[in-house]
Amino acid sequence: MRERLVSSSRSLAIRALAAGMLALPIASCSLLEEDKTYKPQATDPADLLYNQGLVALKNGDYSKAAKRFDAVDRTYPGTDWSRKAVLMNAFANYKGSQWEDAISSSQRYITLYPQSPDAAYAAYIYASSNYAQIPDITRDQERTVKALGAFEEIVKRWPTSEYAADAKFKIQVTKDQLAGKEMDIGRFYLKQGNYAAATNRFKVVVAQYQQTRHIEEALSRLAECYMSLGISNEAQTAAAILGHNYPDSQWYKDAFTLVKSNGLEPREDTSSWISKAFRGMISM
């Protein structure tokens, strides 16, 4: 995931700087090479502040860049300079790993300028800022849920944008993360012998995250849970569907052995929720 984030950051940088430079008049060196002790004044023209922000961004001083763009927005609200500055402020904060500020600015841009050609770009910064904060599966996955929803929104609203392909990739990554969280909790309950609670977690993976790498284990664990609960038809169905879709999986071998050891065979019950889930007839 981290490598993909680096790649996205580079893409954002190229996009942001290109948009920013193209929007500007040519500025003199005296305007761009600012004194480190200089502080923005209320009388500073918008183009001076904006150009200073771009120079700071180019030099890797993301905090200064964000402050300059923020100064443009506050001093010249409602202008084209302000519109550009809000977006560049979001990007500068993203580059500086100031995720919450990047989220706030990108959300503001989308709210103020939903029809702008750069609205998709702002949405991508918002999604990427949440994505950058995804924790490991042992922790709360609120950020993962927000990142997933944001990337899905990009694909829905801007399917032909330059961000759609990466958004689709990260949708899969976030779904895998959420499935992993369900599996982690399910395994915990399973070890405790709480088969009903464990079943509910594995059910979520089968119903919602079939395209993730966790699906084989989820089906095998369901066979184990249902067998322990004495619900043999569901255990047989889980094993049968696992064998049909992943015949070479070690998880299928484990489920097959479990069912056989109880004098049963893997057999699909088409009225089972598992069977319906794999036919796309139900979701959770």
Q: Where does CATH 1.25.40.10 sit in the chain?
A: 2-133
C-alpha dihedral over 100, 212, 199, 185, to 10 degrees?
-40
Mean pLDDT of 150-179: 97
Instruction: Please state, in angstroms and as integers, the Cα–Cα distance from residue 197 to each residue in 48, 141, 186, 223, following that order.
Output: 61, 19, 7, 14
Q: Reduced to 3 DSSP states, what percent helix, strand and coil does the chain have, rounded to the nearest 5?
A: 70, 0, 30
Domain 2-133 matching CATH 3.40.50.620: the answer reads: no
pLDDT in tens, 62-119: 999 999 999 999 999 999 999 999 999 999 999 999 999 999 999 999 999 999 999 9
pTM of the prediction?
0.85
User: Would the pLDDT of 4 be above 50?
Assistant: no
C-alpha dihedral over 132, 171, 274, 235, to 10 degrees?
-40
pLDDT at 280: 81
Cα–Cα distance for residue pair 30/15, rounded to 1 Å: 26
C-alpha dihedral over 271, 273, 276, 282, to 10 degrees?
130
pLDDT in tens, 76-88: 999 999 999 999 9
Q: Token pair for residue 261?
A: 């050891």
User: Would the pLDDT of 272 be above 60?
Assistant: yes
Q: Which residues contact 281 (CB under 8 A, 6 or more apart)?
A: none
Cα–Cα distance for residue pair 97/102, rounded to 1 Å: 8
Mean pLDDT over each residue of the chain, to the nearest integer? 89
Q: Model confidence at 2, in pLDDT bands (50, 70, 90)? A: very low
pLDDT at 279: 85
pLDDT in tens, 215-258: 999 999 999 999 999 999 999 999 999 999 999 999 999 999 99
User: Would the pLDDT of 10 be above 70?
Assistant: no
Instruction: Please state, in angstroms and as integers, the Cα–Cα distance from residue 67 to each residue in 13, 72, 101, 253, following that order.
Output: 18, 9, 11, 59
